[in-house]
């Protein structure tokens, strides 16, 4: 199949796509190329919440998705020839380049499959989560032409394209990339962001034709699956870093800080768990950790079933990010009633309420990070109170019912069981 052949078929433009059904429901397609990891988990939970609302939802993704649908009206279709984020990690440069070439072909094929599925279904709303490559942007522009009557949108977890290799802290650039992405963003009828800072990035760099709508992140109860996690005050002095090991997440700063923590709390431990990114030297990290002592490294992607035990061990969760827009790990910590020590980057500093649900410190400041960690590691009662406040915030402000309502309102859908929130645009 080619995009040329797709455009020769009759679209639904003349008939008029919309949500004029008596029950106010919508036909929604979510596109998430990775079948596991944080972006997939977000798409899964959003799809589940929209289906609970009464919408008909399809999630297009790659093979062997991490979760299966548990709700009528929500279908997960693993039809894309993509890959899991940590599949076949390879550090050898030649082999890595070969793998990237193969994956480029698979990605191009995946976009053809997406176009075919969307043309066949003609949904009311299509939502993406992140575009990384010129190919992604070009495909979105063509799909905009293919679906003139559908609403297209993006949940902009990361508004600027970043490299998955080498320097993950710096946005990719270039005239071709900029033109392609600008065209893709101008085709968006609605843009969802997880905080005001991210919205400001969108407005500064792109020109979507629709509104920029702030939505909550949603809780991360999906990863708990009913497992019991102890209150923070019942744990030992253990700090947890959870997530992909990449340069922009400040693991070097964290190790510097933990060396200071150990001088004041000798019995403290640090667990660093997650997949190893392409810009991190895992061997060098092991050497540094061994020199500091009481640092346990858990490399590799953790299946959902192993996540509750990891958080059960921790008294606090630490996010030493140098750069970020938002963090699903902070919301996972709240779901586990854990306080968060985070740096004030992007919208993370607004997610963590300093003195209420954790501590917020400047980025790149090992001493400040150490002070905040020592405070909570030394005071289990305070950690418990902060953790409980985080759990309450997740329940009160970050429910998936609220997320679904905001998404529907931002897309202009009205009526149905979820017509009960308010849209916040930036």
Dump pLDDT digits (tens) for 21-76: 656 799 999 999 999 999 999 999 999 999 999 999 999 999 999 999 989 999 99
Q: Residue 12: what pLDDT? A: 40
pLDDT tens string 119-137 = 999 999 999 999 999 999 9
- pLDDT at residue 20 above 50? yes
Count of positions (residues) in the chain: 426
The predicted structure's pLDDT at residue 202: 97
Picking from 213, 151, 214, 212, the residue whose alpha carbon sits closest to that of residue 187 is 151
Which residues does 182 contact at the CB level (< 8 Å), separation at least 6?
206, 207
Domain ranges of the chain: 3-216+399-425, 224-397
Side by side, the strands of the sheet bearing 316-319 are 295-299, 269-274, 238-242, 316-319, 340-343, 358-361
Examine the pLDDT at 408 and tell me if it is beyond 70. Answer: yes
pLDDT of residue 210: 97
- SS3 of residue 399 by DSSP: coil
Q: What is the pLDDT of residue 421?
A: 36
Task: Compute the 3-state secondary structure of the chain and give helix, strand, coil in percent, each to the nearest 5.
Answer: 45, 15, 40
- Mean pLDDT for the stretch of residues 273-301: 94
pLDDT at 399 over 60: yes
pLDDT at 198 over 70: yes
Cross-strand partners of 318: 341
Distance of alpha carbon 169 from alpha carbon 249, whole angstroms:
9
Which residues pair with residue 242 across a beta bridge?
A: 273
What average pLDDT does the structure give for the chain?
Answer: 90
pLDDT confidence of residue 145: 96
Instruction: State the pLDDT at residue 416.
Output: 47
The reply to whether 3-216+399-425 and 224-397 are identical in fold is yes
CA distance 74 to 44: 9
Beta strand residue intervals within 262-411, DSSP E: 269-274, 295-299, 316-319, 340-343, 358-361
* Residue 26 vs residues 57, 197, 383: alpha-carbon distances, Å: 8, 29, 43
pLDDT band at residue 13 using 50, 70 and 90 as cut-offs: very low
The percent of residues in the chain predicted with pLDDT above 70, rounded, is 88
Distance CA 65, CA 82 (A): 11
Do 192 and 410 meet the contact criterion of CB atoms below 8 Å apart? yes
Is pLDDT above 80 for 237? yes
**Spatial separation of the C-alpha atoms in residues 353 and 122, rounded to whole Å:** 42
Q: What 3-state DSSP class applies to 374?
A: helix
Percent of the chain with pLDDT over 90: 80
- What are the φ and ψ backbone dihedral angles of 145, each rounded to 5 degrees? -70, -35
Q: What is the dihedral of CA 163, 167, 171, 172, to 10 degrees?
A: -60
CATH number assigned to the domain covering 224-397: 3.40.50.2000
pLDDT score recorded for residue 88: 54
Confidence at 89, pLDDT banded by 50, 70, 90: low
Res 170 pLDDT > 60: yes
d(CA 13, CA 9): 12
Q: Is CATH 3.40.50.2000 the right assignment for the domain spanning 3-216+399-425?
A: yes
């Amino acid at each position: 199949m080619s995009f040329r052949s797709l455009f020769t078929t009759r679209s639904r433009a003349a008939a008029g796509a919309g949500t004029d059904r008596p029950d106010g429901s919508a036909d929604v397609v979510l596109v998430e190329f990775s079948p596991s990891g944080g972006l997939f988990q977000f798409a899964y939970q959003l799809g589940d919440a929209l289906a609970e609302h009464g919408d008909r939802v399809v999630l297009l993704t790659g093979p062997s998705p991490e979760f299966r649908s548990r709700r009528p009206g929500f279908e997960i279709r693993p039809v894309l020839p993509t890959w899991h984020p940590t599949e076949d990690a390879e550090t050898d440069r030649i082999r890595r380049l070969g793998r990237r070439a193969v994956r480029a072909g698979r990605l191009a094929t995946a976009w053809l499959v997406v176009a075919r599925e969307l043309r066949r279904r003609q949904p009311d709303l299509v939502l993406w989560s992140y575009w990384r490559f010129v190919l992604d942007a070009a495909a979105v522009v063509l799909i905009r032409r293919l679906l003139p009557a559908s609403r297209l949108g993006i949940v902009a977890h990361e508004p600027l394209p970043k490299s998955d290799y080498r320097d993950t802290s710096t946005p990719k650039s270039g005239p071709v990339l900029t033109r392609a992405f600008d065209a893709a963003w101008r085709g968006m009828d609605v843009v969802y962001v997880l905080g005001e800072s991210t919205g400001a990035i969108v407005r500064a760099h792109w020109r979507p034709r629709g509104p920029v709508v702030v939505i909550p992140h949603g809780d991360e109860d999906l990863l708990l699956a009913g497992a019991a996690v102890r209150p923070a005050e019942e744990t030992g002095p253990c700090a947890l870093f959870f997530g992909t090991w990449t340069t922009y997440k400040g693991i070097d700063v964290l190790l510097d800080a933990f060396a200071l923590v150990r001088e004041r709390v000798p019995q403290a431990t640090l667990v660093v768990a997650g997949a190893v990114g392409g810009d991190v030297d895992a061997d060098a990290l092991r050497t540094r950790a061994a020199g500091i002592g009481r640092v346990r490294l858990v490399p590799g992607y953790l299946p959902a079933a192993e996540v509750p035990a990891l958080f059960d061990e921790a008294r606090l969760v630490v996010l030493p990010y140098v750069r970020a827009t938002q963090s699903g790990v902070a919301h996972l910590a709240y779901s586990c009633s854990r306080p968060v020590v985070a740096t004030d980057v992007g919208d993370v500093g607004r997610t963590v309420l300093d003195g209420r649900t954790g501590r917020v410190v400047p980025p790149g400041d090992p001493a400040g990070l150490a002070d905040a960690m020592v405070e909570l590691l030394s005071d289990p009662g305070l950690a418990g109170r902060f953790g409980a406040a985080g759990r309450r915030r997740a329940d009160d402000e970050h429910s998936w019912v609220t997320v679904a309502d905001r998404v529907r309102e931002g897309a202009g859908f009205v009526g149905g069981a979820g017509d009960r929130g308010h849209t916040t645009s930036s």
